[in-house]
Amino acid sequence: MSYLVLARKWRPRRFDELVGQEHVLRALVNALDSGRVHHAFLFTGTRGVGKTTIARILAKSLNCEKGVTSTPCGECDSCREIDEGRFVDLIEVDAASRTKVDDTRELLDNVQYAPTRGRYKVYLIDEVHMLSNHSFNALLKTLEEPPPHVKFLLATTDPQKLPVTVLSRCLQFNLKRLAPSLIGERLKYILEAEKVDYEPAAIGLLARAADGSLRDGLSLLDQMLAFGAGKVGEADARLMLGTIDRQYVFQLLERLAERDAAGLMASVAAMDEHGPDYGQVLDELASLLQKVALKQAVEDLPADEIWGITELADFATAISPEDLQLYYQMAILGRRDLPLAPDPRGGFEMVLLRMLAFRPAASPDGQEPPAPKATTAGHVPTRPARLRPASPKKQRSAATTIDLTDWRAVVSQLGLQAAARQLASHLSFVALDGDILRLTLDARGQALHTRQLEERVAQAVSQLLGRSVHLDLEVAQGAIETPARAEEREQQSRLEQARLALESDPTVKALKDRFGAVVQPDSIKPLG
């Protein structure tokens, strides 16, 4: 019998088996139990967070022979066939391989016909953003007025590429990346069910390497079982993932705490014999610094699977909070700049030496911090350079520098993505009264307005202004000037310029005169 990978064997088949995404499950369960099920759902999020899994469970909930329910039986013919991927009324489409408009029209030609077996005909379109503009146009009419027996479940990793007209016709659910703790608990549960021994530190490493994707975590676990001959140990996990032994990271922080430059360089030389990825070493060092800072702030911090609680307590006592914050900032900034260094080891060493060279201006008792120990290879200044706060004359609050009346410029600085950016683009500034930011919402963007998206916009504006603000939105009665309308006008202008340039092109004129060629207006797109 062929081996079934863990990601498929342990794929959730009920809503209560899913890990995380409670905000999505609550909405779907309530909709199913109340009978208020929308005709089109859009699930967005990075890879491996449960988009298609939730869509398949929803399809099963709609077609369970015991009735529409949030807890499908899993035993009837419909439930079993959906689980096995052979239910005739669940049409799964990979949009990446069917981008042509003819493919979409062929697919939608059968929408009008009643389901063959189930209660609903369910279309699950994965990576829907890959459809062409013509395909979206073909899909749009059906999304707007679908037959009562049809449900559309769309999934994508890149919702920014979806037309607003499609977004406005779907209930959108943004699935978040899973925390390493959630992934780790799921991996432990599976290993215990599979009766496989494991070391908690190894699970912690795999959960962090999964980078928010449970499917990636299960794939790594499969790889780990093959690499470790059926065992999951920390040493094998580090070797497989290419991470450095944590004892080296402990040594680095010990030398930093002692301000021992010679010992620090000796530790780097010993570590270099194993050919480490210095970017990963900085990641490990930053992770340790963050845990030590937490230990300082929370004395009864629970035990950590990777970093021992005893070592964390020792470092929390030996290093001042100010130094910890400075080391952490230098570690993450050094990680960013490491590719720019002439060689990785040299860049890594410079990050460590920078940690020794700079110190907070003074300790809380007013004494100067100790100087680093001199190395045998050269001279280290007896008094390190100090970081000083900026002069009060140079400090200005962000509100004094942000012109909220230029709302389009503000939107470009908010760093919002997907639907939240689209909502912000359909707003227009009215006034800022204390901590209340009054905005007008264009009626065209009203379908995008949800409490969750409004809070995301408010958080982004608060971060930009450097103080907390709350939004007060009022829907406009008529057309108003918004960034979305301005961008639309600019796009139309660029399109018109492209059309005129094409019409005046000598080659195009020659093709028209000689062969009777006709320019298709829909095929014209401006460059840039």
Full strand arrangement of the beta sheet holding 427-433:
427-433, 436-441, 470-475
* Residues 14 and 53 both lie in one domain: yes
Same domain flag for 15 and 134: yes
- In this predicted structure, what is the pLDDT of residue 528? 55
- Confirm whether 393 is domain-assigned: no
> Does the pLDDT at position 370 exceed 70?
no
Domain count, the chain: 5
Q: Answer yes or no: is 423 within a domain.
A: yes
Same domain for 31 and 158? yes
CATH number at residue 304: 1.20.272.10
Residue 399 resides in a domain: no
Q: Which residue has the tokens 């210095």?
A: 278
Q: In this structure, are 155 and 123 located in the same domain?
A: yes
pLDDT at 415: 86
**Confidence grade of residue 298 (pLDDT, cut at 50, 70, 90):** confident
Q: What are phi and psi of 291, to 5 degrees?
A: -70, -40
For residue 417, what pLDDT is reported?
81
Q: Do 352 and 476 sit in the same domain of this protein?
A: no
Assess if residue 447 is contained within a domain: yes
Residues 413 and 467 reside in one and the same domain: yes
State which of 152, 174, 196 marks the end of a domain.
174
CATH code for position 205: 1.10.8.60
Confidence of residue 303 (pLDDT cuts 50, 70, 90): low
DSSP letters, 308-349, are: -HHHHHHHHHHS-HHHHHHHHHHHHHHHHHGGGSSSHHHHHH
Backbone angles phi, psi at 502, to 5 degrees: -70, -40
- Give the residue from 225, 241, 257 where a domain finishes: 241
Residue 196 lies in a domain: yes
> In terms of pLDDT, which residue wins out, 368 or 329?
329
Percent of the chain with pLDDT over 90: 25
Q: Read off the pLDDT band of 526 (50, 70, 90).
A: low
pLDDT in tens, 420-472: 888 999 999 999 888 899 999 988 888 788 888 888 899 899 988 888 888 99
- Residue 210: band (very low, low, confident or very high) from pLDDT cuts 50, 70, 90: confident
Higher pLDDT, 368 or 410: 410
| DSSP label of 174 | E
**Is the per-residue pLDDT at 393 higher than 70?**
no
Same domain, 426 and 510: no
Confidence category of residue 78, pLDDT binned at 50, 70, 90? very high
**Domain harbouring 459, CATH code:** 3.30.300.150
pLDDT in tens, 468-512: 888 998 888 888 889 988 888 888 888 888 788 877 888 877 777
Cα 352 from Cα 350, distance rounded (Å): 5
Region at 393 (left for phi over 0; alpha for psi -120 to 50; beta for the rest): alpha
Q: Which of 294, 328, 363 is a domain's end point?
A: 363
Q: CA-CA distance, 468 to 485, in Å (whole number)?
A: 28
Mean confidence (pLDDT) of the chain: 83
Q: What is the CATH number of the domain that holds 123?
A: 3.40.50.300
In-domain check, residue 374: no
Structural domain boundaries, residue 515: 484-523
Q: Which residues are within 8 A (CB) of 321 and not within 5 positions of it... i.e. 6 or more apart?
A: 293, 296
Q: What is the pLDDT of residues 128-185, one digit of tens each?
A: 888 888 888 888 888 888 889 999 999 998 888 888 888 888 999 999 988 888 999 9
On whether both 18 and 163 belong to a single domain, the answer is: yes
Residue 525 is predicted with a pLDDT of 67
Q: Return d(Cα 91, Cα 123) in angstroms, integer.
A: 5
Per-residue pLDDT at 397 exceeds 50: no
Q: Per-residue pLDDT averaged across 20-48, rounded? A: 91
pLDDT band for 209, please (50, 70, 90 cuts): confident
Q: Quick check: is 130 in a domain?
A: yes
Asked if residue 382 is part of any domain, the answer here is no
Kindly tell me the sign of the dihedral angle through the C-alpha atoms of 22, 26, 28, 33. positive
Q: How far apart are CA 415 and CA 383, in angstroms?
A: 41
Please indicate, yes or no, whether residues 495 and 454 belong to a single structural domain of this protein.
no
Q: The pTM is what?
A: 0.57
Residue 519 banded pLDDT, cuts 50, 70, 90: confident
pLDDT tens digits for range 98-117: 666 666 777 777 888 888 88
Same domain, 126 and 207: no
Kindly state whether residues 156 and 192 are assigned to the same domain: no
223-265 pLDDT per residue, tens: 989 888 888 888 888 888 877 777 888 889 999 988 889 989 9
Amino acid symbol at 346: G
114 and 223 together in one domain: no
